[in-house]
Amino acid sequence: MLSDAIRFEEEANRLRISWDNRRVRKDRFTFWFLLLFWMVWAPVTCVATVMIFTSGSPAFFAIWCVFGWLGTIAIPATFVRRFWSEWIEVDAESVSWGANGLLARKPKAVPMSRIAEFSLGHYSDRHEHESAVTLNVYEQPKALGHRPRHILAYWLSKEHKEVIFERIQEFAAKRSITLKTTIYEA
């Protein structure tokens, strides 16, 4: 069964969902998109770096390299997440998540009072359109209308993300937890 690779531990006041990315189906589209993008991005960044020293106008290439090297390093760092063990917890107070593995960040928790929505799907607005299905926690708008966004379960397959979303939605409804859930075009 699809959800066998994901562990659900439900207590009276808490739902904990955990999985090991090495043992679950992953999102192939995201993998191939990032890999192919990086295979073009990294060499172009190397050429731009050389052009700083060999061209007559290095300003453009210097600006490119600021973002170019950031992407050249960040994309392989993202691939490291494929080997993490991850978890998500939901209770009446907050939604929290974290991971164990190389380069894993500290666990993060967002209080329910700051959560605008918990969503699944291809998010789209005037600034961005996602090509992959994502599981997101959006915080309430901050200065200038910016809504902080946290992408959870990044490498999981669409089907696994759907199982997690449905289970969290069900848990919140059963426990009368105020959590706005939204499904965008999937």
Domain boundaries, the chain: 2-21+85-183, 29-81
Q: Which of 117, 115, 120 shows the shortest CA–CA distance to 183?
A: 120
pLDDT 10s digits, 104-138: 999 999 999 999 999 998 866 666 666 788 999 99
The string of pLDDT tens digits covering residues 75-108 is: 999 999 999 999 999 999 999 999 999 999 999 9
Count the Cβ atoms, other than its own, within 10 Å of residue 43: 11
The upper half-sphere exposure of residue 19, i.e. CA atoms within 13 Å in the direction of its Cβ, equals 25
Model confidence pTM above 0.95: no
Give the number of other Cβ atoms within 10 Å of residue 90's Cβ: 25
| Exposure string for 100-119, b = 16+ CB within 10 A, e = fewer | eeeeeeeeeebeeeebbebb
- For tokens 């600006």, name the residue: 63
C-alpha–C-alpha distance, residues 99 and 105, integer Å:
7
